[in-house]
Amino acid sequence: MISRLRARLSRWLTNPVVLFAAIFLAIASLTRLGLALFNGMQSVPLTLWPGILLRGVWFDLAVLAWLVAPLFLYEILLPKRVRASRFHRYARYIGFVFAVFILLFGVVSEFTFWEEFSSRFNFIAVDYLIYTNEVIGNIRESYPVGWLLAGIVLIAALLTWALRRFIHAADVTQPTARHRVVYALLALALPWLSYHFADIDQMSFSSNAYANELVGNGLMTLAAAFRRNELDFDRFYRTMPDAQAAKILAELGVEREPVPQALHPEENEAWDSTRMPLSKPARNIVLVSVESLSANYLGSFGNTKGITPRLDQLAQEGLLFTRLYATGTRTVRGLEALALGTPPIPGQAIVRRPDNDHLATVGEILRHQGYETLFLYGGYGYFDNMNVFFTGNDYRVVDRTAFPKASIVFSNIWGVADESLFDNALSELDRVHAAHKPFLAQIMTTSNHRPYTYPQGRIDIPSPGGRDGAVKYTDYAIGRFIDQAKTKPWFKDTLFVIVADHCASAAGKTRLPVPGYHIPMIFYAPDLLKPGRIERVVSQLDVPPTLLDSMGLPGDDHFFGQSVFEKNQMAPRAFISNYQELGYYKNDKLIVLGPKKRADAFNIDPQTGEAKPATMDSLLLDEAIAYYQSAFHAFKRGEMKLR
């Protein structure tokens, strides 16, 4: 009996999957203990340690389930003759060293992250993976990277040498047919069980934040951050009571009135020609969101290269917004602001988050009033979750997969040429008009993006023409689109809105350089609108209520933004952000909210945009917190849903 048990134990100890699992669990447990010691054991009451250890093992096992699945498959598929070869023995040693190196490298990464944020990996870590150049540079300047990597390699090699007898025995132990069946079942069942029964929300088992974070496993929290695309505002940013935030916003003129699902034409607002620049309500809206169009590319803003002749002409003939600011640095942020009218919340844009359907977007509101609402995109709409977001919010999505091949004159990996996008948009709008329906069409261009290629012969800059060539081609395509639209029967009743999704670059001396968010916007409707300029600061999130106001329709009071034509104007302000920092720009001051409940203030030179550190303005700080906290809670609690 004893010899039989000893033989079974020996088989288990020499099983490479069991060996890896034991090492992983040991490293994960020691990491948890080390983080607690690093933070100070007094920060976690002894009464919480049973819960920390039990839940910690649970999360470690949940991660291990995913890691061992490919190892089980490897053991099943590995031929016996290969397993017994000298080459495979050395390959297994190298693989074992590499696996231990990765685990130990993760430990070091977790300790450095914990030192700064007192947290397991979260969306800040995802952000670090996005901004690799800056992050790697910072790490190289802050730590002796070479020595650290050499030390990790040495430890991994020593551990492999210490376990060499078990690793060698694993090569000569061939799994039986029964074992192969068990391995196959485990390879399928373990990830399924982990996915369905383990969730990072289970980390919050106490009121002690340190204890809750210690429970987790860094790999799991990192994966959840990728999937959820969020950074908890209440956990990492300055907050205030919800009642205080609501009071501040109400005093600023943010009404946030709920939008009912049933809207009727008789509820439309009486047209006030004294405050509106349009002679009558626009029946249709065509919103062209232009990829990466910084304001400084336009001659209207001082550019002397002559790369935007058609946009400059439209700016002279329409209404030019001279101080409009994007909310973020990526297309999804622009789409979020232009559809939802909400300040950006930390982490990823709502466009890429779960549970982002049936929100009170412009499209959803108009769809309930009998409008045809479309989102037209020259690329593949699955990118950045655009198809899911717009379809879930009552837009009809038309991307390059729906374009007839004959209509595509040129395409690259990013999308079809903008002229082909606009040609297909015209065809769709003609069909909607023929059905006697008003429409909102949001068109997202792609040509002003790497690789900066476009059809030859359209402009005087050969393709690929770099950024200048791409901007000039997009300018050409927009002008061509407007010329063709003028021949359509629906043109005289349509307001064209041309606005950038974000700037080409937001680089600067600070993380939130105000000039890096300055974008153009032009309202063009020669039969409805007199030429002019809006010189006040406007945020991208003010566009949705302005569109509804321009149509004389209800719903504009729901948004965090405000129509620029509102009679009782709130003080001009703008919102700018990256994945972590949240900026509030008002009265030439910039308040920046950051992780670790950080808040900074800067004076912004109105001419150059240069930022200089300033004394904190407590009133502006409270306004910034009220806006961003309320937006975060509104989405998380479902308050942005159409009711």
Name all domains of the chain by residue range, CATH numbers in brackets. Answer: 2-228 (no CATH), 243-636 (3.40.720.10)
Whether residue 464 is preceded by a cis peptide bond, meaning omega within 30 degrees of 0, is: yes
Bridge partners of residue 324, in order along the sequence: 519, 538
CB of 373 within 8 A of CB of 390?
no
- For residue 79, what pLDDT band results from cuts at 50, 70 and 90? confident
Note every long-range contact of 46-52, with CB atoms under 8 Å and residues 24 or more positions apart, other chains counting. Answer: 48/206, 48/208, 48/211, 51/205, 51/206, 51/211, 51/215, 52/211, 52/214, 52/215
Give Cα 539 distance to the centre of its chain: 19
CA distance 525 to 521: 13
CA distance 337 to 349: 9
Q: For residue range 210-254, what is the model confidence (pLDDT) as tens digits?
A: 888 899 999 898 888 777 667 789 988 999 999 999 999 999 999
- For residue 266, what pLDDT band results from cuts at 50, 70 and 90? very low
Which is more confidently placed, 115 or 335?
335
> Rounded mean pLDDT of the chain?
89
Mean pLDDT on 525-552: 96
List of residues 6+ apart from 636 with CB closer than 8 A = none
Beta strand segments in 326-392, E: 372-377
What percentage of the chain carries pLDDT values higher than 90? Answer: 62
Q: For residue range 554-599, what is the model confidence (pLDDT) as tens digits?
A: 877 889 999 999 988 889 999 999 878 899 999 999 999 988 899 9
pLDDT value, residue 265: 47
CB of 581 within 8 A of CB of 307?
no
Mean pLDDT on 346-353: 89
> Which two tokens mark 607?
């001419």
Q: For residue range 320-336, what is the model confidence (pLDDT) as tens digits?
A: 999 999 999 889 999 99
pLDDT value, residue 626: 98
pLDDT value, residue 262: 56
- pTM here? 0.76
Residue 464 has pLDDT above 60, yes or no: yes
Note every long-range contact of 42-46, with CB atoms under 8 Å and residues 24 or more positions apart, other chains counting. Answer: 43/208, 43/210, 44/208, 44/210, 44/211, 44/214, 45/208, 45/211
Q: Which secondary-structure segment (H or E) carries 195?
A: helix 177-197
Residue 263 has pLDDT above 60, yes or no: no
CA distance 627 to 634: 10
Residue with tokens 């249709």: 284
Burial of 236 (C-beta count, 10 Å sphere; 0-12/13-18/19+): buried
Q: Which secondary-structure segment (H or E) carries 162?
A: helix 145-162
Closest CA to 500 of 473, 528, 476, 471: 471
CA distance 181 to 457: 63
Residue at 186: amino acid letter? L
Which is more confidently placed, 450 or 522?
522
Bridge partners of residue 231, in order along the sequence: none
Bridge partners of residue 600, in order along the sequence: 592
Compute how many other C-beta atoms are within 10 angstroms of the C-beta atom of residue 5: 9
Mean pLDDT on 174-196: 87
User: Alpha carbon of 571 to those of 221, 246, 582, 623: distances in Å?
Assistant: 40, 17, 19, 12
Residues in the chain: 643
